[in-house]
């Protein structure tokens, strides 16, 4: 079902007006039609079902026909700590993180990460588009942090993507939040890995070296699969 992020609090029977970029997207990109149903996403598990009443040059009018049952939060919250990668790879990683229900995406500045100012408007646009395409009910947060400022002692269930063959434990009984660390294209430095390995277990898939844009969905999918075994 087509979906759109919208702010507000609604009642069944309300009619909302969608204008500007969101109207353009519905009308000219999604080519949505009159009487077609539309999912209205508000975040925090809240969503409504709407029906397109009319579409003209300047606005789309939507009737609220149902308040959906609030979506439960995922049983396991996954936080992704991602070394800042090239801009095209970052877009792919962000989309995968949203689709795979990451709670918080930490964009890390570390020794080998790319050096550029993060375009927060562009990041927000990528995140919102991914939310709408995948009908995610709980929206992720995005934060920019420096690796040197991370307090690893406060993180439980910590995992690092690495080619080192020293996985210390199996993902059999994970409770609560999970932190996944993935380095930039050039990887973490030896010093950074040494710091992480004091707290983190290694996830080492039986593959070749993965590009960051491949590692993000592969490792997040692996974690989800292992969690669902519990």
| pLDDT one-digit tens code per residue, 107-166 | 999 999 999 999 999 999 999 999 999 999 999 999 999 999 998 888 878 999 877 655
DSSP letter assigned to residue 211: P
**pLDDT at position 174:** 60
156: left (phi over 0), alpha (psi -120 to 50) or beta: beta
Task: Name which of 163, 152, 139 is nearest 7 in CA terms.
Answer: 139
**pLDDT at position 164:** 66
Instruction: List, in order of start, the domains of the chain with CATH numbers.
Output: 3-67 (2.40.240.20), 78-227 (3.40.1280.10)
Find out whether 159 and 181 touch, Cβ atoms under 8 Å: yes
Q: What is the pLDDT of residues 43-97, one digit of tens each?
A: 999 999 999 999 999 999 999 999 999 998 877 889 999 999 999 999 999 999 9
CA distance 175 to 136: 22
Q: Is the dihedral of CA 211, 214, 218, 219 positive or negative?
A: positive
**pLDDT at position 172:** 47
Q: What is the pLDDT of residues 199-221, one digit of tens each?
A: 888 888 888 888 999 999 999 99
Q: Which two tokens stand for residue 65?
A: 């026909």
Find out whether 39 and 134 touch, Cβ atoms under 8 Å: no
Q: What is the pLDDT of residues 167-182, one digit of tens each?
A: 554 554 566 689 999 9
Question: What's the pTM value of the predicted model, to 2 decimals?
Answer: 0.89
Strand partners, 59: 19
Task: Give the containing element (helix H, strand E) for 17.
Answer: strand 15-19
Q: Which two tokens stand for residue 177?
A: 């939040």
Q: Which two tokens stand for residue 56?
A: 């003209």
CA distance 56 to 26: 11
């Amino acid at each position: 079902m087509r979906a759109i992020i919208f702010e507000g609090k609604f009642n069944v029977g309300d009619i909302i007006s969608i204008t500007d970029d969101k109207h353009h997207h519905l009308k000219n990109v999604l080519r949505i039609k009159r009487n077609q149903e539309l999912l209205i996403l508000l975040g925090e598990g809240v969503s409504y079902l709407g029906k397109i009443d009319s579409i003209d040059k300047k606005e789309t009018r939507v009737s609220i026909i149902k308040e959906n049952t609030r979506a439960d939060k995922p049983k396991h919250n996954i936080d992704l700590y991602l070394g800042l990668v090239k801009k095209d790879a970052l877009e792919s990683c962000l989309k995968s993180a949203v689709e795979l229900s990451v709670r918080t995406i930490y964009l890390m500045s570390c020794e080998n990460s790319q050096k550029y100012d993060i375009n927060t408007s562009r990041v927000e646009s990528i995140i919102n588009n991914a939310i709408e395409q995948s009908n995610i009910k709980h929206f992720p947060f995005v934060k920019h942090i420096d690796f040197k400022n991370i307090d690893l002692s406060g993180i439980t269930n910590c995992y690092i993507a690495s080619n080192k063959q020293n996985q210390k434990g199996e993902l059999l009984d994970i409770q609560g939040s999970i932190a996944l660390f993935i380095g930039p294209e050039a990887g973490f430095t030896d010093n950074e890995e040494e710091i992480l390995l004091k707290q983190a277990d290694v996830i080492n898939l039986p593959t070749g070296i993965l590009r960051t844009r491949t590692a993000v969905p592969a490792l997040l999918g692996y974690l989800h699969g292992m969690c669902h075994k519990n």
